[in-house]
Amino acid sequence: MMSDYIVEMKHITKRFPGIVANDDVSIGIKKGEIFALLGENGAGKSTLMSILCGMYEPDEGEIYIRGEKVQISSPNHAANLNIGMVHQHFKLVEDYTITENIILGVEPISKFAGLFPYVGIRNANRKIEELSKNFGLEVDPTKRIADLTVSMQQRVEILKVLYREAEILIFDEPTAVLTPQEIDFLLGIIEGLRNSGKTIILITHKLEEIKKVADRCAVLNKGKLIDVLDVKTTSTNLMAQLMIGREVSFESEKAPAQFKEEVLKVEQLTVKNEDGFEVVKDVSFTIRSGEIFAIAGVADNGQVEIADAIAGLVKASGGNIFLNGQDITNDSIRNRTESGISYVPEDRQRFGLFLDFDVATNLASKQYYKEPFSNKGILNKQEFDQFGSQLIDKYDIRSGQGIKTQVRSMSGGNQQKAIIAREIELQSPLMIFVQPTRGVDIGAIENIHKMIIEQRDQGKAILLVSLELDEIMNVADTIGVIYNGQFQKIASSESLTTNEVGEYMMGAKHE
């Protein structure tokens, strides 16, 4: 009997050391529908789809494609079954052109003098140009990836899958780094793909997207399938409840801001990158005590460089930075920390932590050189341990072996907690948070937002850099929208709508 499902996954179980990522999950997807997979980080959505793409093999369970039982052993095999995945983290070679990236692995071969095979780039260029026009994804195939914007890079990822003639397309959190306008465009493309007969699986934790485009939606929680819903007849609230397992408020509760004296003043700041290109141009703003100033913008528009320049990680090539009225433009990183800057960096594993050191050492890593952690250059290990245990309790940092746990073995959420704990304990008048909730689950996000607001209420000045517009709209008192290294708009958060911010983010609108 032919089933009416194009993809069926039955009783899938997948275990990783320590966790069960998928626990007896069964779903069926119809041809030509948009099927959403909803769940928090760590709910098992990505694992389930990685199994479908042949990146993992399930420990138990069966997969049927077009009614036939299959064992998908590799991404190649998945591609042969016309399954393709648009990855959340783009898998692109920056130095290669769009064409080279798309054909990698399925290179068309021409022959020179009928003897020497070579990669037929020119034909591929033509084919890709055609393909991109057909689906409304226009690109110039000869451009290098390094020169493309984030949303253009995503187009390349989509084209990669289409080039391999995929019929079943999996989108993994495709909107995470896009502006509202780009999101609308993308959702339009996805609908267009469905209308041309493709089957779409959309992994996301954003309810409004599901509401907008999806036909049906499966909710996962902690590896288990909770329910499969018809999107048209289900309320967003119910979906949210099922996803999290309890009711949550997305709006952070926040007392009205009370701004006091000016803490940070940035004047005509200019920052150049390694190639001497100005990534921050002539930027000026101030942050007062009790204020959360958020920088909104699409990735790579200079926002991280502003944070780095204030903290001293990159040099300002022009302009001045004042902290509490003191010019710190040329101070060392350590001096800035001493004069009162805490910094939660974007990349916690590359910058925030020493993964091979234990928790206690990491928690003290900004104070080790001072009393009581050391005296005349000799370390006092007891002090490290005591301080560590204290913070682990206070901030509820979960670690397997207490203060001696190697940070590498901790979960992302707990690593982030450790960094935030360390930075709050510095008691700095200025706190910088760059993408503080990236890759942590919803419960932890709530918690982190609460902590940021708490710090504000204690009179700290806070600089928040985030790519998540929701986060900015929820938490910020003042929003600065950056595009191409320049502020397009600085205004109080009440006076701006999400859509307006989105337009400024794309540079479509400016003062």
Partner 1 sequence: MDTIIIDGLSFALPLFIMAIGGIYSEKSGITNLALEGFQGFGAFIGAMSAVLIANASGAAIEDMFYVALLFAMIGGMGFSIIHAVLSIKFKANQVISGVVINILALALTTFLTTQINALVFGAASDKFRLGVSERFTIDGLANIPVIGAVFTNVYPFQVIIIVIAIFAWYVLYKTKFGLRLRASGENPQSVDAAGVSVSKIRFSAVLISGLLSGLAGMCFAYSISAQFSSGIYMGYGFLAIAALIFGNWRILPTLGACLLFGFAKSGGMFIAQSMALPSSFTDLFMILPYVVTLLLLIFFSKSNRAPRALGEIYDKGKR
Partner 2 sequence: MSKDKKKTSLRYRLIWPLRNEKWQPISIPVASILVSFIAAAIIILLLGKNPFQAFYNLFQGAGILPKPTYAGYKSMLTDFLQLLNAMTPMVFASLAVAVALRAGLFNIGVSGQMLASGFLATIIVGYSGLDAFIAKPLVLLVGMVAGGLMGGLVGWLKYKFNIHEVVTTIMLNYISQYVISFFIHMYYIDPISRQSKYITEAARLTLVNVEIANMKMNIPLGFILAIAIAVFIKFLMDKTVVGFEIKAVGSNRNAAKYTGIKVGSNTVLAMVISGGLAGLAGVTYYLGYFGSIQPKVLTNIGFDSIAVALLGNAHPVGIIFSSFLISIIDQGSTYMSSQAGIRQEIASVIIGLILLFSACSAYVKYKVSRLKDKEVDRKDSES
Contact residues toward partner 2 (CB under 8 A) are: 15, 17, 311, 313, 332-334, 337, 343, 345, 350-357, 365-366, 368-369, 374, 377-379, 381
Q: Mark the segment that binds partner 1 (CB under 8 A) among 97-105, 125-133, 381-389, 419-427.
A: 97-105
Closest contact distance (angstroms) between CB of 244 and partner 1 is 22
Q: Mark the segment that binds partner 1 (CB under 8 A) among 84-92, 195-203, 374-382, 485-493.
A: 84-92
CA 54 – CA 267 distance, rounded (Å): 52
Closest to partner 1 by CB, 253 vs 274, is 274
Q: Mark the segment that binds partner 1 (CB under 8 A) among 89-97, 196-204, 419-427, 496-504.
A: 89-97
Closest contact distance (angstroms) between CB of 302 and partner 1 is 23
User: Does position 96 bind partner 1 by CB under 8 A?
Assistant: yes
User: Does position 314 bind partner 1 by CB under 8 A?
Assistant: no
Q: Could you say which of partner 1, partner 2, none residue 100 binds, taking C-beta under 5 to 8 angstroms by partner kind?
A: partner 1
Applying CB under 8 A, among 19, 119, 152, 299 the residue interacting with partner 1 is: 119
- In whole angstroms, what separates CA 64 from the centre of its chain? 32
* Token pair recorded at residue 275: 């190639």
Q: How many CB atoms lie within 10 A of CB 431?
A: 26
Closest to partner 2 by CB, 246 vs 350, is 350
- In whole angstroms, what separates CA 382 from the centre of its chain? 38
CB 60 within 8 A of CB 11: yes
Residue 405 CB contacts under 8 Å (≥ 6 apart), including other chains? 358, 359, 399
CB 201 within 8 A of CB 213: no
Closest to partner 2 by CB, 313 vs 451, is 313
User: Does position 273 bind partner 1 by CB under 8 A?
Assistant: no
CB-side neighbour CA atoms (13 Å) of 509: 11
CA 113 – CA 123 distance, rounded (Å): 17
User: Does position 332 bind partner 1 by CB under 8 A?
Assistant: no
Closest to partner 2 by CB, 52 vs 420, is 420
Closest contact distance (angstroms) between CB of 15 and partner 2 is 7
Closest contact distance (angstroms) between CB of 88 and partner 1 is 12
* Token pair recorded at residue 259: 């701004």
What is the 8-class DSSP label of residue 58?
A: -
Closest contact distance (angstroms) between CB of 166 and partner 1 is 13
Q: Could you say which of partner 2, partner 1, none residue 143 binds, taking C-beta under 5 to 8 angstroms by partner kind?
A: none
Closest to partner 1 by CB, 55 vs 451, is 55
User: Does position 412 bind partner 1 by CB under 8 A?
Assistant: no
Give 365-398 as a DSSP string: TTTTTSTTTEETTEE-HHHHHHHHHHHHHHTT--
User: Does position 347 bind partner 1 by CB under 8 A?
Assistant: no
User: Does position 106 bind partner 1 by CB under 8 A?
Assistant: yes
CB 273 within 8 A of CB 305: yes
User: Does position 91 bind partner 1 by CB under 8 A?
Assistant: yes
Give the residue from 436, 29, 34, 468 showing the smallest Cα distance to 209: 34
Applying CB under 8 A, among 11, 71, 118, 492 the residue interacting with partner 1 is: 118
List Cα–Cα distances, 184 to 68, 177, 190, in angstroms: 36, 13, 10
Applying CB under 8 A, among 67, 117, 188, 372 the residue interacting with partner 1 is: 117
Percentage helix, strand, coil, to 5, in the chain?
35, 30, 35
Give the residue from 450, 457, 453, 476 showing the smallest Cα distance to 465: 476
CA 62 – CA 71 distance, rounded (Å): 8
* Token pair recorded at residue 473: 């709209």
Residues in touch with partner 1 (CB under 8 A): 74-76, 79, 87, 89, 91-96, 100-101, 103-107, 109, 116-119
